[in-house]
Amino acid sequence: MDPEVTSGRSTTTKLSQSENSPVPSPGKPEGSEPGTKTTFSKGRKRKKPYKDTNAPKAPLTGYVRFLNEHREKARNENPDLPFHEVTKILGNMWTQLPAVQKQLYLEEAEKDKERYMKELEEYQQTDAYKTFMTKQKALRKDSDSVNGTTETQTGSEDPDNLLCKPCNMFFNSPHNKREHLMGKKHNMMLMGKTEGTDKTEIKEQSVEKEEEDTTEDAIPVDGDIPIFTEEFLNYNKVRENELRRLRKTNTEFEEQNAILSKHIENMKKGIEKLENEAEEQQREISTLEKHLQKLRHVLRKNFAGLSISGQEGVSVTTDSSVDGFVSRLHQSLQENPKENAELVSKIKGIISSIDYPNFLKDVSS
């Protein structure tokens, strides 16, 4: 058999075994046990961005507008489904929506985008924006020095600003802007502006760098993984897949947050309405309390000389005793209407003498 053919088959077999072999975990040699679990060190915890509360409200996309409009109806029609399943139903509805109807939402989103660009341009001229930028630069000074980056390099000086100034591009969400900032196009634009080099010079420098690296020893990185090796490339691929999955999850959460923000706004309006109704009812109760107290006072003065037959010791002495006296008087009149005819006539005369309309005016004042 031809030795070259045998050598080719052997090489093919080795490559196949290499592709099917598990990727070694970072920080361990290639000869480690294949059954051990691969673990990666956690990255530095991100700090919560300093949000500008005075910045104009970011525009909503046509898809988010559609979700906000149909979310409540979908939840009522499917009360047993969880939140993410309802979101999937709305996503399918958006996909199947006719182009004419979908264009209406997109046009509204475009108008909102123009509104945001105009308000953002005006807001960046105010003192509030300058104060926010000063505070943000002070908070991020330490992190910038550790990462070796500056605001100009990242183009993310304002988290509420969805405009990439170096590339002159506008984005619908902070997630899309962050994706752009980590992309090759944005980095090439920054390199062209900061270093003044063209694409040919950048390519020549990268070729020279690769030639120098091939002659030097492999430089270790975190986890003792030599760069420009198969192990490093596999490790980098795993990290990129993880980042892609996290970005997708983050996008879903941002869409859900937009919907929840709409629900919170509606709840606040409902609470405000109920509070106003409660205040109005409290005012009515206070007015009725004054009315009742005034009525007791008038009856006490006019019923002071009355006496109930068979209950000579019962009389009206204070405003608080009016209720009990009137209750006993009513009971006595029902039990002996003929014997108390004169008393009934006297009570009618007292009641008719009360100036009721003016009495109400006194209460309202």
Residues 6 or more apart whose Cβ sits within 8 Å of residue 58: 116, 160, 162, 173, 174
Q: Which helix (H) or strand (E) holds 170?
A: strand 169-170
Q: Residue 347 corresponds to which tokens in the numbers above?
A: 């009570």
Question: Domain segments of the chain: what residues?
Answer: 52-141+160-188, 276-353
For residue 12, what pLDDT is reported?
42
pLDDT band at 246 (very low <50, low <70, confident <90, very high): very high
Nearest C-alpha neighbor of 259 from the set 72, 96, 99, 120? 72
Q: Residue 342 corresponds to which tokens in the numbers above?
A: 């004169």
Instruction: Give 142-190 pLDDT, tens digit per residue.
Output: 555 555 555 444 444 454 566 777 776 666 667 777 777 888 777 777 7
Point out which residues pair with 311 in neighbouring strands.
308
Query: Which amino acid, residue 336?
Result: N
Residues 6 or more apart whose Cβ sits within 8 Å of residue 189: 166, 167
Q: What is the pTM of this model?
A: 0.34
- Give the highest mean pLDDT range of 72-81, 302-311, 322-331: 72-81
Which position has the higher pLDDT, 317 or 327?
327
52-141+160-188 — its CATH code?
1.10.30.10
Identify the weakest region by mean pLDDT among 74-78, 109-113, 147-151, 160-164. Answer: 147-151
Q: Which helix (H) or strand (E) holds 246?
A: helix 230-302
What integer is the mean pLDDT of 65-92? 89
* Residues above pLDDT 90, as percent of the chain: 16
CB 354 within 8 A of CB 302: yes
- Per-residue pLDDT for 298 more than 90? no
pLDDT band at 3 (very low <50, low <70, confident <90, very high): very low
CB 328 within 8 A of CB 308: yes
Nearest C-alpha neighbor of 115 from the set 58, 191, 64? 58
